[in-house]
Amino acid sequence: MDLHVIFSSLLGLLFTPKLLGLMLLAIPLGIFFGCVPGLGGKLGIVLLIPFVYGMDPLPGAVFLLSMHAIVHTGGIVPSILFGVPTNGPEAPLLADGYPLVRNGQAGRALGAALSAAGIGGMIGVVCLALILPVVEPFVLSFSPIEFFWLAIIGITLISALAGKMLVQGLIVGCFGWLIGMIGLDPQTGVQRYTFNQLFLWDGFDVISGVLALYALPEMMQLGRGKGKREAGMPEIKPEVTKYTFAEVWDGVKENFRHWGLTITTAVMGTFIGMIPGLGGEAAGWMCYAFAVSRSKDPERFGKGAIEGVIAPSTGMNAKEGGGLLPTLFFGVPAGSGMAIMLGALIMLGIKPGPLMIVHDLPLVWSLIWAIAISNLLCTVLLLIVGKHMSSIAHIRANVLVPVVLVFALLGTYLAKDHWESLLVFAGMGAIGYVMRRNHWPRPCFIIGLVLGPTAELSFHKAFALHGLTFLVQPTSLVMMSIIAVTLFFNLRKTYRRKPGVAAAAHPKPTGGSI
Amino acid sequence: MSRIAMTIAAFLFASVPLAQAADSAEEFYKGKTITYVVSTAPGGGYDTYGRLVARYMNKYMPDSKIIIRNIPGAGHVVGANTIYAAKPDGLTIGTFNTGLIYLQLLKESGVRFDLAKMSWIGKAASDTRVLVVSKSSGVKTVQELLDSSKPPIKLFAAGVGSAGYIDTRLAISALHLNVQLIPGYNGSEGTMSMLRGETQGTIGSQSSYTQFVDDGNGVYIMEAGGPADSKIPQAGQFAKDDNARQLLKMIAAESDVARLTAGPPGIPADRLALLRSIFMKAMADPQLLADAKKMDAPIAPATGEHVQQVIAEALQQTPQNLQLLTQAVKAGQ
């Protein structure tokens, strides 16, 4: 690979005032779109397209990509401090981030999550650069058979996420899958559970599901609490959320203490991001479940385990780098956000396709560097500013609850533009509240909702292409053994552990359930 | 009075109300806000064309304001329903997929519009439906797909009931193509599956496969509708009877009328005439053409009258063809 091209692109970015200025402008915008619930990177690009209209390809693309790459980093702060996800991919952060805040470790949680996001973004870019020479065979090696099995592997992660509540986890997961079936049947076109309502034709919206399942129960709990919080849940006092840079730095160092996890989840995130149609929404949860399943004492998760914050943060930012790969070199967007990015790139005069590697290598490298630099800058910026943001964590409930609910409802409405979504929000929120009260594992719902339909559609396609023989192809056999082994170890780990061991090691469980 | 004078007088007399009408329509739109409904979420082709059309129509109606409203849902049905049910005052217009013709013919539940009655303002493009096959399939002509002694080749399509799926089913029924149809490929997954060699081709809109073919990954072997000077063989020439030709006409209608703009039934004639003329002026705007070229959005405009006629013809199918259409869709169920 031509080192000259690689580094001249970097120098070009850093020393061209226009490019650097655009990147510096993109970062606060990205943070804004990330931290307002329901806005997200997709809407961000759509709203910014008029401004890049007429720009040259390079500055326009650098601006949009820098903004899009850090949206999730922007979402970290409110997700962790409020316990309300700003968008689908950020949801796994709440599982352990919010309990950490209630435990008086807001600084450590934010430090760990923000730096993990930055590191994840950078590793994603490194993976992207490394895979550049073999991009074609890699992306093409995923057929419906692989999709089917990857989705099934994702679904079996329920066994890790649910822990001891395996039965409840399965019920919740199946419920999510069932909800995922709403809409037009992908194989026969028959309407399923649509009750003649047009808004149900397109299926159930993941963002409204996540917002309803987390925001409403959390806010209801906060609203009805008034001193009568759940057992073991300490009152958040202003001084609890005040923290020093030392604490933030301690959080940053957690990434290096758990370096194996950081790197593995970042690589996982990149690969999930690279495969079109696998559902980036699930990337964070898959990384989270991975962290749980490799942990020596999984009971800590959901109660404030720092690994539970690191894994999804690295995963969700790494997938952004991964997603760029099929978008740029195949013109095949990896997800809905990248689909809109693709349209914007074409509008700027960039022609995505395999030939970009030949003709536009400097541009490709500039884009790769832009993602890396904006990740780095955004993380540093938020680590510094985040200290002041922490004051929002102790806003009184009677102020916080209405504000968060307004944003959550807005996000739900914006996601599909159907007023009926608000009814769904209320219904799902009530279910979420019951689940939360009884500590049922809510992540299993999202896994079922996102991966269930992928599994179903891929099964149909694989069956149409190969008949049932696809189940005995080598890939399938390998995947089945992986699933059997993971299931075995996850279940064994859960059921062989003596109760009380983990609790003794961590005497301050906060009771916030995932 | 000479005959010439009489003619001139008659002409003048007749043109007075017309001029007045145009004036009053222009008067009506002054200071008003027009909502342009795009039946998809922001981003993507329909949104791009919708915004382009709205922006340049606004250029020729400087005293009005045209705003975009995205109303996605149920594969354009929600948007089309909204436009159809809007107050017919000429202040709500919009765009949706031409494939809704099929849903109307199939009397799908949820369809609350009648395309024949809508006020058609114009169309911005043609989007020829082509049969594209991958290079690795080895197929070079349609004849190879008519030979039933060979193993069938695999064509992919989007979900059952989608316009792309119905197009493919109709073409298979009309031409007795020896293919296996595999639905469920959404967005770009189909292109990937051709690159992977897992499927060999598809019937879809030409603009979606320009790059695939330009990169040398595939060839067009047949088209329905499209420009007269095209070098790709027309589907009609492989049809053996009138019924087959009639079925192919439905696909051709979709090819010829794309990126359309319409309003609810009953827009006052003077306002509709004004909107139509402004639409055509916008389409001829050199700046619009330059922008469209930059966005890879081909422009091939036609008047509202033309669109109305094509849609009306496509909707007039014999009961026999309707049955074929129903069968074509049901065959996948």
Higher pLDDT, A139 or A384: A384
Residue B218's nearest CA partner among B206, B235, B227, B236 is B206
CB contact under 8 A, A346 and B295: yes
How is residue A444 written in tokens? 């299993």
Report the percentage of chain A scoring pLDDT > 70. Answer: 88
CB contact under 8 A, A140 and B195: yes
Phi, psi dihedral angles at A350 (to 5 degrees): -95, 135
The whole-number pLDDT of residue B163 equals 79
CB contact under 8 A, A330 and B44: no
Comparing alpha-carbon positions, the chain B residue that sits nearest to A338 is B43
CB contact under 8 A, B43 and A45: yes
Most confident of A43-47, A497-501, B272-276: B272-276
Residues B145-163: pLDDT tens digits? 988 888 899 999 887 777 7
> Between A187, A196, A333, which is nearest B188 by CB?
A333
The whole-number pLDDT of residue A319 equals 87
| Residue A1 binned pLDDT confidence (cut-offs 50, 70, 90) | low
The answer to whether A151 and A451 are in contact (CB under 8 A) is: yes
The whole-number pLDDT of residue B22 equals 58
Each domain of chain B, given as residue ranges in start order, spans 3-125+257-315, 129-254
Helix (H, G, I), strand (E, B) or coil at A305: coil
> Between A201, A333, A349, which is nearest B73 by CB?
A201
Q: What share of chain A is helix, strand, coil (3-state, %, to 5)?
A: 75, 0, 20
Range list of H helices, A103-205: 106-131, 135-140, 144-156, 158-162, 166-180
The whole-number pLDDT of residue A505 equals 37
Is residue B260 within a helix (H) or strand (E), and if so which, with residue range?
A: strand B258-263
Most confident of A197-201, A285-289, A416-420: A285-289
- Residues belonging to chain A with any Cβ–Cβ distance to chain B shorter than 8 Å: 42-43, 45-46, 139-140, 143-144, 184-191, 196, 198-199, 201-202, 276-277, 330-333, 339-340, 343, 346-347, 349, 351, 353-355, 416-418, 457, 460-461, 464-465
Mean per-residue pLDDT over chain A, rounded: 81
Cα distances (angstroms) measured from residue A116 to each of A76, A251, A434, B88 = 11, 9, 32, 55
The whole-number pLDDT of residue A476 equals 93
DSSP B157-204: -SSTTSHHHHHHHHHHHHHT--EEEE----TTHHHHHHHHTS--EEEE
The whole-number pLDDT of residue B315 equals 87
Find the length of chain A: 514
CA distance A308 to A291: 7
pLDDT at position A63 over 90 = yes
Residues A403-413: pLDDT tens digits? 878 878 887 88
Higher pLDDT, A274 or A334: A274
- The torsion of the CA quartet A199, B253, B165, B134, rounded to 10 degrees, works out to -130
Instruction: Provide the shortest C-alpha distance from residue A187 to chain B (in Å).
Output: 6
Cα A447-A451-A457 angle, rounded to 5 deg:
160
Instruction: Provide the shortest C-alpha distance from residue B246 to chain A (in Å).
Output: 25
The whole-number pLDDT of residue A391 equals 65
> Between A187, A201, A332, which is nearest B191 by CB?
A332
The answer to whether B333 and B160 are in contact (CB under 8 A) is: yes
The whole-number pLDDT of residue B119 equals 96
Higher pLDDT, A104 or A96: A96
Task: Characterize the bridge pairing of strands B201-205 and B153-156.
Answer: parallel
Which residues lie below 8 Å from residue B148, measured CB to CB, with a gap of 6+? B176, B178
| Residue A510 binned pLDDT confidence (cut-offs 50, 70, 90) | very low
Beta bridge partners of A191: A184
Q: In this structure, is residue A243 part of a structural domain?
A: yes
The whole-number pLDDT of residue A65 equals 92
CB contact under 8 A, A277 and B185: no
Is residue A414 within a helix (H) or strand (E), and if so which, with residue range?
A: helix A397-416
Q: Which residues in chain A are contacts of B207 at CB distance < 8 A?
A: none
The whole-number pLDDT of residue B34 equals 94
Residues A171-183: pLDDT tens digits? 999 999 999 899 8
What is the average per-residue pLDDT within A104-130? 89
- Taking phi over 0 as left and psi of -120 to 50 as alpha, with beta for the rest, B90 belongs to left
Eight-class DSSP state of A157:
T
CATH value of B3-125+257-315 in 1.10.287.110, 3.40.190.150, 3.40.50.300, 3.10.20.30: 3.40.190.150
CB contact under 8 A, A330 and B192: yes
The whole-number pLDDT of residue A513 equals 45
The whole-number pLDDT of residue B186 equals 73
The whole-number pLDDT of residue B276 equals 96
CB contact under 8 A, A331 and B187: no
Higher pLDDT, A161 or B96: B96
CA distance A132 to B18: 65
Domain tally, chain A = 1
Phi, psi dihedral angles at B141 (to 5 degrees): -135, 160
What is the average per-residue pLDDT within B209-218? 86
The whole-number pLDDT of residue B6 equals 57
Q: Which residues in chain B are contacts of A196 at CB distance < 8 A?
A: 109-110
How is residue A53 written in tokens? 């209209």
What is the average per-residue pLDDT within A85-92? 81
Residues A214-266: pLDDT tens digits? 888 888 877 776 544 443 444 455 555 567 778 888 888 988 999 999 999 99
pLDDT at position A279 over 80 = no
- Residues belonging to chain B with any Cβ–Cβ distance to chain A shorter than 8 Å: 41-44, 48, 70-75, 77-78, 81, 109-110, 154, 159-161, 165, 180, 182-189, 191-193, 195-196, 198-199, 211, 215, 294-296, 329, 332-333
Architecture of domain B129-254: 3-Layer(aba) Sandwich (3.40)
Instruction: Provide the shortest C-alpha distance from residue A32 to chain B (in Å).
Output: 19
How is residue A66 written in tokens? 């820098």
In terms of residue numbers, what domain contains A414? 3-505
What is the average per-residue pLDDT within A147-156? 85
Least confident of A19-28, A305-314, A484-493, B307-316: A484-493
Compute the Cα dihedral for A7, A8, A9, A13 and give only its sign: positive
Phi, psi dihedral angles at B200 (to 5 degrees): -110, -10
The whole-number pLDDT of residue A120 equals 92
Q: Quick count: other Cβ atoms within 10 Å of Cβ A359?
A: 11
Residues B115-145: pLDDT tens digits? 999 999 999 998 889 999 999 999 999 999 9
The answer to whether B203 and B131 are in contact (CB under 8 A) is: yes
Mean per-residue pLDDT over chain B, rounded: 86
pLDDT at position B95 over 60 = yes
Comparing alpha-carbon positions, the chain A residue that sits nearest to B161 is A189
Q: In this structure, is residue A512 part of a structural domain?
A: no
Q: What value of ipTM does the predicted structure carry?
A: 0.71
Instruction: Provide the shortest C-alpha distance from residue A398 to chain B (in Å).
Output: 35
Residues A353-399: pLDDT tens digits? 767 777 788 888 899 899 999 999 999 998 888 767 666 666 677 88
What is the average per-residue pLDDT within B228-238? 87
pLDDT at position A445 over 90 = no
Q: Quick count: other Cβ atoms within 10 Å of Cβ A339?
A: 20
The whole-number pLDDT of residue B303 equals 94
Cα B206-B212-B216 angle, rounded to 5 deg:
120
CA distance A122 to A255: 14
Report the percentage of chain A scoring pLDDT > 90. Answer: 19
Is residue B134 within a helix (H) or strand (E), and if so which, with residue range?
A: strand B129-134
Residue A161's nearest CA partner among A1, A30, A282 is A282
Range list of H helices, chain B: 3-29, 45-59, 77-85, 100-105, 143-146, 163-175, 189-196, 206-214, 242-256, 269-283, 286-294, 304-315, 319-330
Residues A22-49: pLDDT tens digits? 999 999 999 888 887 767 777 788 778 7
> Between A187, A331, A340, which is nearest B184 by CB?
A187
What distance lies between CA B101 and its chain's CA centroid? 9
The whole-number pLDDT of residue A390 equals 63
Comparing alpha-carbon positions, the chain A residue that sits nearest to B165 is A189
Higher pLDDT, A102 or B58: B58
Q: Which residues in chain B are contacts of A185 at CB distance < 8 A?
A: 160
> Between B165, B188, B196, which is nearest A143 by CB?
B196
